[in-house]
Chains A and B, each alone.
Chain A
Amino acid sequence: MSIALLIEQLLNGLQLGVMLFLMAAGLTLIFGVMGLINLAHGSLYMIGAFACAIVATATGSFWIGLAASLAAAAAAGAIMEITVIRRLYERDHLDQVLATFALILIFSEGTRWLFGSFPLYLDIPPALQGAVPLPGGGQYQLYRLAIIGVGVAVAVGLYLLIARTRLGMRIRAGESDREMIAALGVDISTLYTVVFALGAALAGLAGALVGALQSVQVGMGEPVLILAFVVIVIGGIGSIKGALFGAVLVGVVDTMGRFLLPQALTLMLAPSQAALVGGALASMLIYIVMALILAFRPSGLFSAQS
């Protein structure tokens, strides 16, 4: 195994982590401010990917598609918040789980109804095709580097937004004391809608960026949703910093596990067996890591509450 390959795999893990961060940031923000578990977050990811694919195909420009994905996901998020989610803030987590589980069914079948059953086409923009050289003689795909860049930009942007702006101040106030913020005369329902739409837009952005790498199809949000939940639980629910850390941890552990476990097992087993067993272990690995972390830190690594 060469150093170049190792660096490439670390970057792959980082890129997967950054993508998960875009999903997890919205989830954790919504939970931190409104105390809501949103299982339908994966549907917003799907909406972003579909919007990008359709608009990019129609206009021939990935960038217009990307803008459309942000707009569509934010709009879908706002509508969802105003019509359904708003009624769930006072409910317990159980009702939230069921209501947003129902929303998944509605969004998935609704999308299929509107756009058909066949996967859609979306490719990376010409400007980002190609690869850049890595130290050690390897190379890395430009588009994936760009995703890492977007993730870092979003992380910095969110930090500035929350630490430096009025909206951020209200969000922080909303996290610590909900009655207080209403007493201060802030229009809490507008704030909630804005936060929800922001989280939705981030999910839509993730969907569009990833849609160019994967297949744009109904149900694409569900595997990512579960991973994003693993991320925010590891990081500590409500903590953006935790989400970033958790996302990179999950991304790197998952990628390196898939890469290294089967190789490590060849020391003990025949190659074919090692590939099988290693593959099986790798697919369970992040859940094992999560269980271990929660066993020792029951409210995640960077809990916002404590």
Chain B
Amino acid sequence: MKNALATGLLGLSLMAAGPAAAEPVKIGVITTLSGGGAGLGIDMRDAFTLAIEQSGNKDIELVIEDDARKPELAVQIAQKMIQSDKVDLMTGIIWSNLAMAVVPNAVAQDVIYLSPNAGPSALAGPNCHPNYFNVAYQNDNFHEAMGQYANQDYKKTFILAPNYPAGKDSLTGFKRFYKGEIAGEVYTKVGQTDYAAEIAQIRASGADSVFFFLPGGMGIAFLKQYAQSGVDIPIMGPAFSFSQDILPAVGDAALGIRNSATWAKDLDNEANHKFVEAFQAKYGRLPSVYAAQSWDTANLILSALSKASVKDKEAFRAALKEADFESVRGKFSFNTNNHPIQDIYIREVVKEGDVLTNRIVAKAFTDHKDAYAQQCNM
């Protein structure tokens, strides 16, 4: 609270009106806790609440609500949190389309939003906002890393993603760094669960590798069917289909597959050891990449709270921007558009005893920035 002194007369008058230090900080968490994609939201929430709990900070009040992965419902909850609960900060959304529904409107009402997962390109470029902080990644990043890494071994890649904006961003991101030839490019139906037709095309294409982005159940289905089909062209993709929440359902079909992410549980730094241990002790399962990003989000907020009052938006934003916290990803800082500058790794799915998990095998990028920062005038 020492910064309250620095805010001068205005700050003093606020202090006089009521002791600012005692006032709790309200954080609104909108995430997916029911329906098909609930696993991701639950990991997000569990890591976030654990981080707050471990900090021992008693002045933080969490308002957690379920968006059921429906954009309209997420908007309604956001309005309630802003207008009725009067939250100071918001976070929690997993999906790009829900973020696009909530974020532009929330930040315009002077609420600070911190994204623990989605990073649509529109919010990184022309529509960036001082109140919007992305603590996860810009949507293209994982795919760019995979494209960069693929240059080492492959010349002719077959690429595949669902037919929606994040899918197009994915293939664009991959192609941005990949120098080889594209053996085939397929956009599948959103929510598709049978990939026999696409796998047959892959087999016939003469590709030397396959890059795919199919989040959630789509990826589980694709990986199982790909392994069952006996096609032996190596596959690779972003971490979403290889994260800890999904691996048990994919099974051995995922073994040995290379995937790109900003984090893995074997990343060697003190914050990460502490995080993995605490999460496992509390919930009895390994954390996913979503849990890791959410843990970082909570710790970023905690670090900023120790420097500035959340009521002083200007100072608080500056404190957030410093990113002065121990990230489980090791290095972490913000670019000019409030999106991360971070290393991106290549991981491999391995088996530890009976448990499938990832270990890091290479680094694709050091201090990687997204491609949209120039378009952001902030």
Pick from B35, B196, B203, B245: contact of A108, CB under 8 Å: B35
Report B226-244 CB contacts with A as 1/0, cut-off 8 Å. Answer: 0011100000000000000
B189 touches A112 (CB 8 A): no
Interface residues of A in 1-27 (CB under 8 A from B): 1-2, 5, 8-9, 12-13, 15-16
| Secondary structure of the A contact surface, majority rule | helix
- Given the interface contacts A214-B220, A215-B217, does A276 sit within 8 Å of B163 by beta carbon? yes
Which of A115-123, A168-176, A187-195, A196-204 contacts its partner? A115-123
| Residues of A with C-beta under 8 A to B190 | 283
Among B182, B193, B246, the most chain A Cβ lie within 10 Å of the Cβ of B193
A223 touches B191 (CB 8 A): yes
- Given the interface contacts A118-B245, A220-B217, does A143 sit within 8 Å of B228 by beta carbon? yes
A129 at the interface (CB under 8 A from B): yes
- Bound complex: CA of A129 vs CA of B216, how far in Å? 25
| Residues of A with C-beta under 8 A to B42 | 117
| Secondary structure of the B contact surface, majority rule | helix
B249 at the interface (CB under 8 A from A): yes
Among A9, A15, A130, A219, the most chain B Cβ lie within 10 Å of the Cβ of A219
B251 touches A123 (CB 8 A): yes
B200 at the interface (CB under 8 A from A): yes
- Bound complex: CA of A129 vs CA of B225, how far in Å? 11
A139 touches B230 (CB 8 A): yes
- Bound complex: CA of A124 vs CA of B252, how far in Å? 12
- Bound complex: CA of A215 vs CA of B248, how far in Å? 11
- Bound complex: CA of A218 vs CA of B38, how far in Å? 9
A217 at the interface (CB under 8 A from B): yes
Query: Nearest residue in A to B249 (C-beta to C-beta)?
Result: A119
B39 touches A213 (CB 8 A): no
- Bound complex: CA of A220 vs CA of B197, how far in Å? 20
Pick from B34, B187, B230, B248: contact of A109, CB under 8 Å: B34
Pick from A216, A271, A283: contact of B249, CB under 8 Å: A216
B249 touches A121 (CB 8 A): yes
A279 touches B217 (CB 8 A): no
Taking the nearest CB of chain B, how far is it from the CB of A102, in angstroms?
15
B249 touches A215 (CB 8 A): yes
Among B200, B216, B217, the most chain A Cβ lie within 10 Å of the Cβ of B200
Report A54-93 CB contacts with B as 1/0, cut-off 8 Å. Answer: 0000000000000000000000000000000000000000
A262 touches B186 (CB 8 A): yes
B24 at the interface (CB under 8 A from A): no
B201 at the interface (CB under 8 A from A): yes
A131 at the interface (CB under 8 A from B): yes
B204 at the interface (CB under 8 A from A): yes
Query: Nearest residue in A to B160 (C-beta to C-beta)?
Result: A275
| Residues of B with C-beta under 8 A to A2 | 204
Interface residues of A in 105-150 (CB under 8 A from B): 108-109, 112, 117-121, 123-124, 129-131, 139, 141, 143-144
B176 at the interface (CB under 8 A from A): no
Taking the nearest CB of chain B, how far is it from the CB of A135, in angstroms?
15
- Bound complex: CA of A129 vs CA of B221, how far in Å? 16
| Residues of B with C-beta under 8 A to A279 | 163, 186-189
B187 touches A276 (CB 8 A): yes
- Bound complex: CA of A109 vs CA of B34, how far in Å? 7
A214 touches B187 (CB 8 A): no
- Bound complex: CA of A139 vs CA of B196, how far in Å? 12
Report A212-230 CB contacts with B as 1/0, cut-off 8 Å. Answer: 1111111110010000000
B163 touches A283 (CB 8 A): yes
Which of the four size classes fits the interface of chain B?
35 or more
| Residues of B with C-beta under 8 A to A144 | 196
- Bound complex: CA of A226 vs CA of B349, how far in Å? 35
- Bound complex: CA of A219 vs CA of B253, how far in Å? 23
| Residues of A with C-beta under 8 A to B168 | 276
- Bound complex: CA of A18 vs CA of B370, how far in Å? 46
Report A38-68 CB contacts with B as 1/0, cut-off 8 Å. Answer: 0000000000000000000000000000000
Query: Nearest residue in B to A280 (C-beta to C-beta)?
Result: B163
B200 touches A112 (CB 8 A): no
Query: Nearest residue in A to B248 (C-beta to C-beta)?
Result: A121
A220 touches B193 (CB 8 A): yes
| Residues of A with C-beta under 8 A to B249 | 118-121, 215-217
- Given the interface contacts A108-B35, A215-B249, does A283 sit within 8 Å of B189 by beta carbon? yes
| Residues of B with C-beta under 8 A to A178 | none
- Bound complex: CA of A262 vs CA of B159, how far in Å? 14
Query: Nearest residue in A to B225 (C-beta to C-beta)?
Result: A213
A213 touches B228 (CB 8 A): yes
A282 at the interface (CB under 8 A from B): yes
Pick from A1, A15, A108, A215: contact of B193, CB under 8 Å: A215
Interface residues of A in 256-295 (CB under 8 A from B): 258-259, 262, 271-272, 275-276, 278-280, 282-283
Pick from A9, A117, A262: contact of B38, CB under 8 Å: A117
Taking the nearest CB of chain B, how far is it from the CB of A54, in angstroms?
13
B194 touches A217 (CB 8 A): no
A271 touches B200 (CB 8 A): no
B251 touches A214 (CB 8 A): no
Report B54-67 CB contacts with A as 1/0, cut-off 8 Å. Answer: 00000000000000
- Bound complex: CA of A123 vs CA of B187, how far in Å? 26
The 5 A-B residue pairs with the shortest CB-CB distance in the complex, in nearest-first order? A215-B220, A279-B187, A219-B36, A119-B249, A117-B38
A-B contact pairs, 18 of them (CB 8 A): A2-B204, A5-B204, A12-B194, A12-B200, A15-B196, A118-B246, A118-B249, A141-B229, A214-B194, A214-B217, A214-B225, A215-B216, A215-B221, A217-B217, A271-B185, A272-B185, A276-B187, A279-B186
Given contacts A121-B249, A215-B217, 10 further A-B contacts (CB under 8 A): A2-B204, A5-B200, A112-B38, A117-B33, A119-B39, A139-B230, A213-B193, A215-B221, A262-B186, A279-B186
Interface residues of A (CB under 8 A from B): 1-2, 5, 8-9, 12-13, 15-16, 108-109, 112, 117-121, 123-124, 129-131, 139, 141, 143-144, 210, 212-220, 223, 255, 258-259, 262, 271-272, 275-276, 278-280, 282-283
